[in-house]
Structure 1
Amino acid sequence: MEFPAISKSHLLNFDPNPKPLPLTFHSQTNFRFKSTDHVIKNRFYIFSESKNEYTTTNISSLFKNKKTWIHFVGVGGCGMSALAMLALKQGFEVSGSDIVWNEYMDRLREAGARLFVGHSVLNIERKGFGSCLPDKVVVSSAIGSDNVEVLHAKSMGVHVLKRGNWLGMITEHHNLVAVSGTHGKTTTASMLAYVLSAMGVDLTAVVGAQVPQFPGGNILCCRSPNFILEADEYDGCFLQLSPYIAVVTNVEWEHADIFQDEEAVKNSFKRFLKQIKVGGHLILCRDSEGAYSLVSETCIGTAPVLSKCTSQPLNAGYRVTTYGTSSLNEWCASSICPNSQGGTDYVLCHMGSPVADISLQLAGVHNVLNSLAVIAAVRALINDYWPTQRLIDCIRLHLHNFIGVSRRFEMIGIFNKCHVYDDYAHHPTEVRAVIQAARQRFPLKALWVIFQPHTFSRLATFLKDFATALGDADRVVITKVYDARETGLSNVSGRDLAVSVVGPLSEYIPCVVDLVDKLCFEISSSPAQELLVLTLGAGDITAVGPKLLQKLQQIQCHSN
C-alpha cells in the first residue's frame, strides 16, 4: 500500500474553534444507534420501530458476572492482557501464566490477578477453597497445542477456548464495532473509542496496546452494550465475531506463518465480512487495493444483495462506505500537509464537497487514513437526525485532542539534539509509513533506523520489500531476528537484510548490548548532531531506546 506525498497546501478557512456538540443523554435526545439500541446513563433503551417508542430495562440485567474463574494462558501479550483486565473489571476471578514477566502483568497483578511465570499444571490447580479448577481456560494464539496447562485442562473437562472464541463469547450480545486490517487497526480502534467516549458515549473497548488516554491502559470498561474491538486476523481470530459495524483499514499479505499468500489473506477477510450482521455497515479504505477487492463497484454506498454483487460473498446485505485520499470516496482527505505541532492537517471532504479542516497531533498519511475511518464509523453509528456539519465539528475537536498509542511513533526521550523514538512497525508497509512520518516531523534531522526483524518467516517472505523500505533512512542497523512463536533454524538472518539495503550505510549488529554501546559512543562523540534514532520492531527492540538514553546520561554525568 503506497501513501501519497504530503503537500504544503494551505487548508480551507473553517472555524478553528467550533462549539462542542451538546450531547445530552436524555429521553428526547436525537442521538441513536442505527442498530436501534440507545444508551442513556445507566439505562438501556430499546427503540421499537413498530411502536415508535423506547422501552427500558436496567443495564445491569444484561450482564450476569458471577464469580467465575478464568485462566489466561499467554497472559503477558498485549491482546491477552487486555482481555484479562476486562475480565477483572467485569467481576471475574482471573489467573494467568506466561514464560516471562512484563509490565502488562504488573498492571494485572495490581488489579487482583494471580499470575505465574512459566507454564505448569499447578498454575490451574488449587486446594482448600472454592473451585479446584478454572471454569474456563483462554489460550493465546501464540501458545501451542502441546502446552501443559492446555492439555491438563482438557483432560479434566475444563472448557478451553482460543482467544477468538472468547472474544466471540464476550461480544456476542453487544453492539460491536470491529476494527480490522493488516495495518493501523490498533490506532484506529483506540482513536475511535477515544472520540466516542469524549462525545459522551458509554462503551467498552479492547485494543492491543497501551493508550495513554485510556484510564484502563489498553481497555475502556463500561456496563454498556457498545463495544469497540481491535479485530485481529491472525489465526482466524476475527472469524468468531459478529459485528454491527466492521472497519477494514487495508488488506495485504502478512503473517506468512499462517497465510500462504495474499489470496489466502483476502479469503479470510471475505469470511469476516460474512459475519457482519444483517443491516450492518462495512467501512473500507479504498486506497488499499486488497481491501477494495473485497467488494465490487456496485456495492459501494448501497445495501448490496448477493445476486447484484457477485464479487462479494455474502448471504445478507449491509451498507458499504469508503474512505481514502481519492475524491471517489464518500469520505476523503485533500490538501494534506504538516502542521506546527508535528502532526498533520487536511481538508475533510464528504461526497466531494469540503466540510471541515482536520488537525491531528499525529504525523503521517497513514494516520490521516486512520482518522477518516473514525469519522466514517462515528457517522455510521449515529443516525441521520444529527446534521452532518454539527457532528463533524464535534468529531474534529476530539480527533485533535487524541495523542496516540504507545509504540506507535512514540517519543522515548531526548539527549542534547538527539531524539529517540520507538515504533511497533514489523512489516514493510509499516516501516515505510513510519519513516515517512519521521521525515515529516523532523525534516532536518539525520534518521538512523534500528530494525529488529520479527519472525524468520516474515523476514524470508518480505526481505526485498524490507530492504526497499529501509532505504529511505540515512543509516540502518539490523539486529538478529526476534523469533517469537517460531521454533527451529532458518536459512535467513538479519545479516541477509543488512547486505540487501541499498543507499544508506547498513550494518548488522546482532547483540542488543553491543548495539547500545556502539550507538552511545557515536552519539556522545557528536553531541551537536541533529539526529533522530528510530527503533522498529514487534519484539524486545523497544528496550533499546531507554537503555541508550540511560547510558548517554551516565556518560554525561561522569564527564561533568
Structure 2
Amino acid sequence: MLTSMTRQRPLAHFIGIAGIGVSSLAQWFLAHGWAVSGWDRLQTPLVRRLKQKGIRVKIGTPGAPLPRGAGLVVYGQTFISNNPQLTRARAKGIPSFSYPEAVGKLTDAYSTIAVAGSHGKSTTTSIIATMLARAGLDPTVIVGTTLKEFGGLNFRSGKGPYLVLEADEYKRAFLRYSPTLAVVTNIDREHLDVYRNLCAVQRAFLKFLSRVRPNGAVVLNRDDHNLFSLRSSVRKLAAARHIRVAWYSLRDSGARRIRKYIRIPGEYNISNALAAFHIGRMLGVPEAKILGAIRAYRGSERRLEFRGTYQGAPVFDDYAHHPTEIRVTLCALKEKFPRKKIVCVFQPHQAERLYRLFREFRSAFDPADETLILPVYKPPGRREEKMRITSEDLTKAIQKQQPSKPLFYLAHPENLKKALGALGALHAKVVVMMGAGDIVHYTDSLIR
C-alpha cells in the first residue's frame, strides 16, 4: 500500500512528471507528506506550477542522476524502456511503479469513482468532481486536464472517502484499478496501436467493468452502439459480482433538465453531464446540488477552451485528436456560432492513429467551413513505425473527395498567421486550434 509507505520513504521521484497523469499523482504524494521530485524532457506551464508548489523538477536529457534519498520511483508509461533513472532505481532496489500501478494501489485505499471511455473522460470526471466538492463530500481528484476550480491544476486533495479518477484505457492502464463506481461514456476504435481492432477495445472495457468491486455500480451510455451492444455480457458480469447497472440516454428526462442548466456547448457534453447526474443520484446528492454543479462547471483546459481573439475572430483550443471527437467538437461550435464560419486548424497526433483511422479522418472535417492541416505530431518517448500516411496525404485525399472545400496543408506551422490571412477577413469567423500535440504553442502565438 502506498499510503502505508509514507512513514517509511521520505522522497518520491517521478519520471515523466510533465505528463498530465503523472503530475497529478505527484501532487497526491506532496499532499500526503512526501518530499517530491521529478524529471522530464520539457518545461511546461504545468511543470512551472508544480515547482511553485515546492516540487523539485529537473528538465533536460534523461541522464540526470537519481535524487539522493529517493525511496520510491513512479514513471509514465512512455518511459518504461532504457530510461537511465529508472534503470538506476531498479539496480538499487528502490520500489518502482508505473503510473497505472501506483494509481491502482490508491484505488484500493478509497471508494473510487473511475471514469472511462474513448471520449469525454476528462469532462465527465471534472463535472463529477465539481459536483461532489459542492455537495460537501470533499473528494480527492486525479484528472487528465487542468481546472479553474482547482487553481489551474489537475489534482484536488480531499479528506472525504471518494477518489474521482479519470481511467485511461491506453496500454490497458485502467485494468489496474479497483473502483467502487465506474462510468463508461463510450467505446470507439481508439489506441489501435495497442488494441488493433474494435473487438479488442470492447473486451478491454468489459475487463475494466469486471474490476468493479462486488456490490458496486456502473453507469453506462445507452446511446453508444459499441457499448450498448455489450449489454448481455454486462448483465452476466453484473449478476455474478452483484453490481448495479444504470444505463443513461439523451432521451431520458434527466437530459431535458440538464439542457436548462449546462453552459458548455455540444450534445456530447449533455451526455457527459448526464453520466455525472447518475453518479450524483447514486451517492445521494440532492438533484438541486447536481444541477447547480452542472451549471457552475465552466469547462476545462483544451476542451473547447476560449483563449482570446485574433483579428476579430474568437480563438478556441481543443484536445480533439480522434475523428469522432473532431466531428462532434466542430458541430458544437456550429451550434454555438450558427452565423459564423468555422476555421479548423488541426495537428494530427501520432502517425499510427492517422494510418489506422485514415478513412474516418477524411470525413471528420465536414462540419468545418475552412481547414488547415499541420504535419503529424510525434509524441516524445513513443516508438512508432515508419510513417505510412502523412498529413499531406490526408489533405490530398479530402481535396480529391471534396474539390471545392477550402482545405489546405500547412507544411510550416510557423506561417500560420499568413495562412489564416490568406483565407480572408477573420472577423466573421471562429478559429479552433485542434489536436493533442504541441499545437497549443501556435495558439499562444496567435493570441499574444
How does the TM-score come out when normalised to structure 1? 0.75
Does residue 541 in structure 1 map to residue 439 in structure 2? yes
Change (3 A) 1:314 1:428: farther
Does residue 200 in structure 1 map to residue 136 in structure 2? yes
CA distance in 2, matches of 1:332, 1:398: 14
Opposite residue 323 of structure 1, the aligned amino acid is Y
Q: Provide the residue aligned with 1:109 in structure 2.
A: 51
Does residue 293 in structure 1 map to residue 216 in structure 2? no
Alpha-carbon contact 2:182-2:217 (below 8 Å) kept:
yes
Which stretch has the larger CA shift, 88-97 or 402-411? Answer: 88-97
CA distance in 2, matches of 1:80, 1:164: 9
Deviation sequence 1:441-465 (CA, Å, 0-9, x none): 1111111101100001100011121
SS of 2:260's equivalent? strand
1:517 aligned residue (405, 418, 421):
418
Change (3 A) 1:216 1:84: farther
Q: Provide the residue aligned with 2:266 in structure 1.
A: 364
2:391 aligned residue (488, 494, 497):
494
Deviation sequence 1:421-452 (CA, Å, 0-9, x none): 11000001100110011001111111110110
Change (3 A) 1:434 1:112: same
Q: Provide the residue aligned with 2:276 in structure 1.
A: 374
Deviation sequence 1:481-525 (CA, Å, 0-9, x none): 001123453121000111122442111112220223322x347x6
1:87 deviates by: 1.4
1:220 deviates by: 1.0
Alpha-carbon contact 2:303-2:317 (below 8 Å) kept:
yes
CA distance in 1, matches of 2:58, 2:5: 28
Opposite residue 544 of structure 1, the aligned amino acid is Y
Deviation sequence 1:393-440 (CA, Å, 0-9, x none): 221122111101110001111245311111000001100110011001
CA distance in 2, matches of 1:238, 1:247: 12
Q: Provide the residue aligned with 1:29 in structure 2.
A: none
Which stretch has the larger CA shift, 391-400 or 423-432? Answer: 391-400
Opposite residue 244 of structure 2, the aligned amino acid is R
Alpha-carbon contact 1:270-1:313 (below 8 Å) kept:
no
Alpha-carbon contact 2:219-2:278 (below 8 Å) kept:
yes
CA distance in 2, matches of 1:148, 1:416: 47
Opposite residue 436 of structure 2, the aligned amino acid is A
CA distance in 1, matches of 2:111, 2:260: 28
Root mean square deviation of aligned Cα = 2.0
1:282 deviates by: 0.5
1:298 deviates by: 8.7
SS of 1:453's equivalent? coil
SS of 2:241's equivalent? coil
Which residues of structure 2 form unaligned runs of 5+? none
1:297 deviates by: 8.7
CA distance in 1, matches of 2:248, 2:233: 14
Deviation sequence 1:234-266 (CA, Å, 0-9, x none): 111111111110000001110122111111111
1:358 deviates by: 3.3
CA distance in 2, matches of 1:314, 1:457: 38
1:470 deviates by: 0.6
CA distance in 2, matches of 1:77, 1:427: 20
Deviation sequence 1:314-356 (CA, Å, 0-9, x none): 74120000111235xxx652xxxxxxxxxxxx346xxxxxxxx
- Equivalent residue runs for 1:424-443 within 5 Å: 424-443=319-338
Opposite residue 247 of structure 1, the aligned amino acid is V
- Equivalent residue runs for 1:209-224 within 5 Å: 209-215=145-151, 217-224=153-160
CA distance in 1, matches of 2:239, 2:81: 33
Alpha-carbon contact 2:342-2:429 (below 8 Å) kept:
yes
Does residue 526 in structure 1 map to residue 434 in structure 2? no
Change (3 A) 1:151 1:167: same
Does residue 394 in structure 1 map to residue 289 in structure 2? yes
Opposite residue 508 of structure 1, the aligned amino acid is Y
Alpha-carbon contact 1:516-1:544 (below 8 Å) kept:
no
SS of 2:218's equivalent? strand
1:464 aligned residue (353, 356, 359):
359
Alpha-carbon contact 1:121-1:152 (below 8 Å) kept:
no
Alpha-carbon contact 1:273-1:314 (below 8 Å) kept:
no
SS of 1:100's equivalent? coil
Moved over 4 A (4+): none
Q: Provide the residue aligned with 2:318 in structure 1.
A: 423
- Equivalent residue runs for 1:145-156 within 5 Å: 145-156=81-92
CA distance in 2, matches of 1:123, 1:369: 47
SS of 2:194's equivalent? coil
CA distance in 2, matches of 1:254, 1:479: 21
- Equivalent residue runs for 1:148-187 within 5 Å: 148-187=84-123
Q: Provide the residue aligned with 2:304 in structure 1.
A: 409
Opposite residue 235 of structure 1, the aligned amino acid is K
Change (3 A) 1:403 1:107: same
- Equivalent residue runs for 1:32-431 within 5 Å: 65-66=6-7, 68-120=10-62, 122-126=64-68, 131=69, 134-215=70-151, 217-296=153-232, 299=235, 309=236, 312=237, 315-327=240-252, 332-333=254-255, 346-347=256-257, 358-382=260-284, 391-431=286-326
How does the TM-score come out when normalised to structure 2? 0.93
Alpha-carbon contact 1:74-1:96 (below 8 Å) kept:
yes
1:100 deviates by: 1.0
Change (3 A) 1:122 1:143: closer
Which stretch has the larger CA shift, 168-177 or 210-219? Answer: 210-219
Opposite residue 140 of structure 1, the aligned amino acid is G
| Identical counterparts, % of pairs | 31
Opposite residue 432 of structure 2, the aligned amino acid is L
1:182 deviates by: 0.5
CA distance in 2, matches of 1:443, 1:317: 47
CA distance in 2, matches of 1:379, 1:515: 47
SS of 1:124's equivalent? coil
CA distance in 2, matches of 1:68, 1:361: 44
Which residues of structure 1 form unaligned runs of 5+? 1-61, 300-308, 334-345, 349-356, 551-560
CA distance in 2, matches of 1:204, 1:431: 31
